[in-house]
Amino acid sequence: MAEAKTFEPAEGMVDFDAGEGETPTVVEMDDYTKSLAQAKAKSVKLIDAITGQVLKKKDAVHVDDLRPSLADFMRLKHPELRADDYISRKVMDDYRAQYIAELLTDERGELSTLEDEVVESLKTHDTLAENIEEDYEDHRSIGDRMADGVASFGGSWVFIISFCLFLAVWMAVNIVMGESKAFDAYPFILLNLVLSTIAALQAPVIMMSQRRQEEKDRLRALNDYKVNLKAELEIRHLHEKVDHLLNRQWERLTEIQQIQIEMMLEQAKAATRAIKANKAAKAKTSALKSLFTKAKDADPDESAN
């Protein structure tokens, strides 16, 4: 009967139990270790501590990395939230918006529509800056465009010079034609009527244009207010976050310094022990030498032999 062959894995190899009649599976140890590490990494799931959803690594935020004020605000509604838990960025943005809304309410009272828009933009990371000029120009009616054109032309040097030329020509023609043939003889009553009519029509048109300009300025001021408020809140958020990071950094530096001091003390103790051991060894060696010398002096015949 033929002797059954046994499979001996080479050094640095791992064999797995194979079934009857099957060839054992052999895997290099490095590959096996890597596969175990990869499987372990894949098996670790980041769970949102609030919603319970599985998070991707890029969407997960460590609670310990949040600002202390925001983390404390979240713990008011979720006392079970721990520093080593994870939450999603969406949840962080929602609670951040709630925190800012509550902060503004405490400072300013009831929030206005503009402040609600600012809080919503912080939540959704939208941009508040708008080009008021383009938006306003696109929504003008034909009458608005005509009024703006008349007001713009009436307040220009072109209008002043051309109107002065018109008056000069009017008066010169009527003077040259004489009183009998002139269509508007001196004192130019028809010209006064024309000027009065132009002034009566031009004034309300200019007022219409000024009113729209005031509306445009008001919209621009509101947009500036929203942008400034958001910038103020963002800067406050950055200040708190930087302070939090600096405090954590100082804590870590202090801890590292303490560890270094302990290591230096251990090294000093080890050096002291080594020095004492060296001195003891030297003393022992000196004692042995002295004993050996005394023994030689006490037995000269034996030393001679």
- Of 99, 79, 96, nearest to 88 (Cα)? 96
Provide CB contacts within 8 A for 85, sequence distance 6+. Answer: 49, 62, 63
Amino acid at 52: G
* The two structure tokens encoding residue 80: 């079970």
Among the listed residues 102, 99, 124, 122, the one whose alpha carbon sits nearest the alpha carbon of residue 111: 102
Long-range contacts of 103-108 (CB under 8 A, 24+ apart): none
For residue 301, the model assigns a pLDDT of 54
Name the packing angle between helices 189-298 and 113-124 (round to 10°): 40
Q: Say if residues 57 and 42 touch (Cβ distance below 8 Å).
A: no
Domain boundaries, the chain: 42-124, 131-214
**In sequence order, what DSSP letters do the residues of 234-260 get, joined into one string?**
HHHHHHHHHHHHHHHHHHHHHHHHHHH
How far CA 10 is from CA of 6, 13, 36, in Å, comes to: 13, 5, 20
Are the beta carbons of 179 and 185 closer than 8 angstroms?
yes
Tokens of 1: 């009967």
CB atoms within 10 A of CB 206: 17
Whether a cis peptide bond, with omega within 30° of 0, leads into 187 is yes
Q: What is the pLDDT of residue 193?
A: 92
pLDDT along the chain (305 residues), means of 10: 45 45 47 50 70 81 79 83 83 80 73 73 70 71 82 86 92 86 86 90 85 84 84 80 76 80 85 87 83 73 51
Q: Which two tokens stand for residue 100?
A: 């800012």
State the burial class of residue 219 (Cβ atoms within 10 Å of its Cβ: 0-12, 13-18, 19+).
middle
In this prediction, residue 169 carries a pLDDT of 93
Angle at which helices 68-77 and 189-298 cross, to 10°: 100
Three-state DSSP class for residue 86: strand
Residues 96 and 74: their CA atoms lie apart, in Å, by 9
| Number of Cβ atoms within 10 Å of the Cβ of 136 | 16
